[in-house]
Amino acid sequence: MRKIGVLTSGGDAPGMNAAIRAVVRRGITLGAEVLGVRHGYAGLIAGDFVPLETASVGDIIQRGGTFLQSARSERFKTPEGQREGFEKARAAGLDGLVVIGGDGSFRGAIRLTELGLPCIGVPGTIDNDIWGTDRTIGFDTAVNTCLDAIRKIRDTASSHDRVFVLEVMGRSSGWIALAAGLAGGAESIMLPERPLTIEEVALRVKRGMERGKRHSLIIVAEGVGSGFDVGREIQKRTGYDTRVTVLGHIQRGGAPTAADAMLASRMGAKAAELLLEGKGGLFVGEVNNELVAQPLENVLGKRKGIPAELLDLAEILAT
Ligand code: ADP
Ligand code: F6P
């Protein structure tokens, strides 16, 4: 392989730029030319390519978002769209492609590999919901953003003896809620992996306040439902003044933490190495601090659970 491409797809995540930079610089040191594909698979179909040199990725390692931009392409989910993307890649002379994104993006990478364009996946999503890797790029930064919000909310909550509901992201996964709740000492964490009923949460709030707590913080993963619905029900059942904050896309932005920038740099470089060794149909994961390459197919239909031990700990400490 001599010419490789790189794209970012799905929801952006802090650290994606660091991953692109690593693909480009490692690819070039291994003698390859690197083309960036703008706007994910939509850009692949449109043939929206940009040559990337060592200097093109200067000064981006600490920038949030993705300078190649990302997209969600319905067209690419169809066989015709995939064929169009494949033809454009071939016409541009691409021998392989690094796909940085979540499991939806990995499905697209499998299709392209089947069509004859070897792809390597790099897990980039704040949700940390990809099977086969202990961490995904962007998760640590998103959790730290939540933690910053928790500290600020606690200040105002305890000044007014209030209950606060903080809704955090995670399309169908409670990883962000669990990590932020555990690290931030939340009183209740509502997440899809171990649902708590409104009655249980209301009981916890009442018990805590009666014991002398000056506030109660409830973290709600978006996969469980709306933070506003939870807030309304809690106020109704406890009588405590309750406020709701939905953190939203603030969690997707910002400079990557050191942990994310390191992870992205290691994974991006590894992806370029794998492609240039002639491999394809794989993704890079981090398992027990080591990078491992596994078949993209392994991810399909699998859910990355949260270890029971962590769920138990969160419950024990949040009394
Ligand atoms: P993520 O990669 O973060 O999970 P999405 O699920 O939105 O994000 O997927 C990103 C893009 O990947 C989609 O817009 C689509 O172009 C492509 N994609 C998703 N699912 C498939 C699929 N089953 N086959 C081919 N491409 C897919
Ligand atoms: O998958 C990452 C994520 O941020 C989820 O946590 C969230 O549900 C979703 O993307 C939001 O996506 P959109 O870009 O469509 O607002």
Q: What is the pLDDT of residues 304-315, one digit of tens each?
A: 999 999 999 999
* Residue nearest ligand 1's atom 8 by CA: 10
- Say how many C-beta atoms besides its own lie within 10 A of residue 116's C-beta: 10
319 falls within a domain:
no
Q: Tell me, yes or no, whether 22 and 41 share the same domain.
A: yes
- Which residues span the domain enclosing 15? 3-138+256-299
Mean pLDDT of 217-243: 97
Can you tell me the distance from the alpha carbon of 19 to that of 33, in angstroms, rounded to the nearest whole number?
A: 16
116 falls within a domain:
yes
305 falls within a domain:
no
What pLDDT, on the 0 to 100 scale, is given for residue 160? Answer: 96
287 falls within a domain:
yes
Q: Tell me, yes or no, whether 164 and 278 share the same domain.
A: no
Q: For the chain, what is the domain count?
A: 2
317 falls within a domain:
no
With both helix axes pointing from N to C terminus, report the angle between 139-159 and 175-184 in degrees, rounded to the nearest 10: 50
Tell how far the Cα of 251 is from the centroid of ligand 2, in angstroms: 10
Ligand 2 site, residue 150, Cβ cutoff 6 A? no
Q: Tell me, yes or no, whether 19 and 96 share the same domain.
A: yes
Residue listed under structure tokens 């000056």: 214
pLDDT at residue 263 is higher than 80: yes
57-107: pLDDT as tens digits: 999 999 999 999 999 999 999 999 999 999 999 999 999 999 999 999 999
For residue 48, give the CATH number of its domain: 3.40.50.450
Mean pLDDT of 285-311: 96
131 falls within a domain:
yes
pLDDT at residue 111 is higher than 90: yes
* Residue nearest ligand 2's atom 1 by CA: 11
Residue of 7, 9, 74, 103 best suited for mutating to test ligand 1, as the one with most atoms within 8 Å of CB: 9
211 falls within a domain:
yes
pLDDT at residue 234 is higher than 90: yes
Q: Tell me, yes or no, whether 207 and 91 share the same domain.
A: no
- Going by pLDDT thresholds of 50, 70 and 90, the confidence category of residue 116 is very high
Supply 260's token pair: 């994310």
Is position 127 annotated as part of the catalytic site? yes
Mean pLDDT of 128-134: 97
- Going by pLDDT thresholds of 50, 70 and 90, the confidence category of residue 318 is confident
First vs last Cα of the chain: how many Å apart? 57
- Say how many C-beta atoms besides its own lie within 10 A of residue 87's C-beta: 15
Ligand 2 site, residue 170, Cβ cutoff 6 A? yes
pLDDT at residue 236 is higher than 90: yes
- Say how many C-beta atoms besides its own lie within 10 A of residue 65's C-beta: 17
Catalytic-labelled residue, pool 12, 103, 127, 140: 127
- Say how many C-beta atoms besides its own lie within 10 A of residue 301's C-beta: 8
SS3 114: helix
Q: Tell me, yes or no, whether 105 and 35 share the same domain.
A: yes
Q: Tell me, yes or no, whether 193 and 161 share the same domain.
A: yes
Query: What is the side-by-side order of every strand in the sheet holding 242-246?
Result: 188-190, 216-221, 163-168, 242-246
Q: Tell me, yes or no, whether 15 and 68 share the same domain.
A: yes
Q: Does pTM surpass 0.95?
A: yes
Sequence-separated (6 or more) residues with CB below 8 Å from residue 239: none
Ligand 2 site, residue 125, Cβ cutoff 6 A? yes
Q: Tell me, yes or no, whether 10 and 131 share the same domain.
A: yes
Residue of 8, 44, 76 best suited for mutating to test ligand 1, as the one with most atoms within 8 Å of CB: 76
Ligand 1 site, residue 121, Cβ cutoff 6 A? no
pLDDT at residue 159 is higher than 80: yes
- Going by pLDDT thresholds of 50, 70 and 90, the confidence category of residue 303 is confident
For residue 155, give the CATH number of its domain: 3.40.50.460
Q: Tell me, yes or no, whether 187 and 274 share the same domain.
A: no
Q: Tell me, yes or no, whether 129 and 260 share the same domain.
A: yes
Q: Tell me, yes or no, whether 12 and 124 share the same domain.
A: yes
Percent of the chain whose pLDDT exceeds 70: 100
Ligand 2 site, residue 21, Cβ cutoff 6 A? no
310 falls within a domain:
no
160-179: pLDDT as tens digits: 999 999 999 998 999 999 99
Q: Tell me, yes or no, whether 133 and 264 share the same domain.
A: yes
Distances (CA, A) of 216 to 89, 250, 313: 53, 23, 18
